[in-house]
Amino acid sequence: MGLKAKAVYLVRQFPFIYPGRMISSCEEWIGKQGKQNGIYYSQRGPWFKTIFTAGFLQNPAPQTVGEPNDKAFYTNRNYPTPKASLFYLQNSYVLGHKGLILSENHEVFQEFSHHFGISTLKKFLRKNPFYTFTGHAKKIAGVGAVLISPESHNYYHWLNDVLPRIKLYETVLDQIDHFCVSSAVPSKFLDILKEFGIPADKILLVEDKQKLHFDHLYISSLPGSEGRSPKWAVDFIREKLIDATKSNQHSKKMYFKRGENAERNILNENELIAGLENDGFEITDPGKLTIDEQIALVQQAKVVVSAHGAALSNLLFSTAGTSVIEIFSPDYFRTDCYYTLSSILGLNYWYIVGTKPAGAQWGDITLPIELLKKTIAQINGG
């Protein structure tokens, strides 16, 4: 980069401490660019097209034999699903593990990066000055596409936020030279990209806060809304990763343990496991298995018991009619992941809320064993 180009690059990031502005709608931004620059530009400049139209989901009521918490599920009983689009931008940037997309003038496209937590992406950037600024951006030759979302390294978000975006790239898949993926993604996640037609030599690992410049960049919509997977995304992942030629018995009862370093632990888990083993349950830590092994395992399940966590992502590959019991901590009662997924797949969904002992760490609970026994009895017909 010459001195003049370097100066222009730095000035475009002015005032440096924050991005130029937040663009709430890329579609509207493209329309304004076309009007400002004329017909020639609008025909050869950035564009978008809608792949899936907006929809609406209505989910059955969750079931519990404990004290119901209808309020926690209310907003996820009925909700619209947004349309999904493919965007083509020129002279733009990809930034770090959050997959931020910036225009030539360092404006942030808000819709391409979820921000998890209680603050918005705008508030996050306000609290993290200089986050989008760098003295150097790496120029990448060829055509890029984005396969990054916040928390890409998490199994649930990899399956539900990242991989479905490949469906939106299908019409341009053969034009893409580089698929940008967070460098934090485990290798076993990367290994399944070949099932989606993406060879290893096209995977471009992006370091955190690394800024890459592309003359030609495809960006697809983020599917769903931080936990609400649309049906088209669920269908696409199942089509790609489930081997329809294999016949599974769908007869096993399974308990999914959380990983050794996980938060939100069940403090009486040893007692819980002993009781489940006596009832014929298999005890598994899915995180120690390959993705293919996890898929094969859950397809054999007729009952799955697990605390809320990434292990339940494997419900995506389960058989309709499978019963699931999700265990919540009152500290983290999030119902927009596995309840909504279970509803799309036609699973028999139940939940239990654990109790929080005095002095327990955030998220840790004791599970009422008798309540679990009653729930299993209900699933078995009373």
Does the global pTM surpass 0.85?
Answer: yes
- Residue 39 domain-assigned? yes
210 and 337 both lie in a single domain: no
Total number of domains in the chain: 2
Q: What is the pLDDT of residue 306?
A: 97
- What are phi and psi for residue 123, nearest 5 degrees? -65, -35
**What is the domain-level CATH number for residue 320?**
3.40.50.360
Taking alpha carbons only, the member of 330, 333, 338 closest to residue 368 is 330
306 and 220 both lie in a single domain: no
Per the listing, tokens 């092994």 go with 293
Does residue 13 sit in helix, strand or coil?
A: coil
273 and 187 both lie in a single domain: no
202 and 168 both lie in a single domain: yes
Cβ proximity of 288 and 260 under 8 Å: no
Residues in the chain: 382
Q: What is the pLDDT of residue 239?
A: 96
174 and 263 both lie in a single domain: no
207 and 275 both lie in a single domain: no
- Residue 244 domain-assigned? no
122 and 219 both lie in a single domain: yes
Signed CA dihedral, 154, 159, 160, 162: sign only: positive
Range of the domain at 95: 3-45+82-227
- Residue 139 domain-assigned? yes
- Sequential DSSP letters for 107-131: -EEGGG----SSS-HHHHHHHSTTT
- Residue 53 domain-assigned? no
DSSP state of 224: S
Q: What is the pLDDT of residue 259?
A: 77
Contact partners, residue 359, CB within 8 Å, separation at least 6: none
DSSP state of 160: I
280 and 165 both lie in a single domain: no
How far apart CA 220 and CA 236 sit, in angstroms, is 15
Q: What is the pLDDT along the chain (382 residues), one digit of tens a residue?
A: 678 888 888 888 888 899 989 999 999 999 999 888 888 877 899 999 999 999 999 999 999 999 999 999 999 999 999 999 999 999 999 999 999 999 999 999 999 987 655 568 888 888 899 999 998 899 999 999 999 988 899 999 999 999 999 999 999 999 999 999 999 999 999 999 999 999 999 999 999 999 999 999 999 999 976 678 899 999 999 999 998 777 677 899 999 998 777 789 999 999 999 999 999 999 999 999 999 999 999 999 999 999 999 999 999 999 999 999 999 999 999 999 999 999 999 999 999 999 999 999 999 999 999 999 999 999 988 6
30 and 164 both lie in a single domain: yes
39 and 158 both lie in a single domain: yes
How far apart CA 158 and CA 49 sit, in angstroms, is 24
Strands 301-307 and 252-256: parallel
Cβ proximity of 310 and 283 under 8 Å: no
Omega into 330 within 30° of 0, i.e. cis?
no
208 and 275 both lie in a single domain: no
How far apart CA 356 and CA 275 sit, in angstroms, is 21
Q: What is the pLDDT of residue 169?
A: 98
167 and 315 both lie in a single domain: no
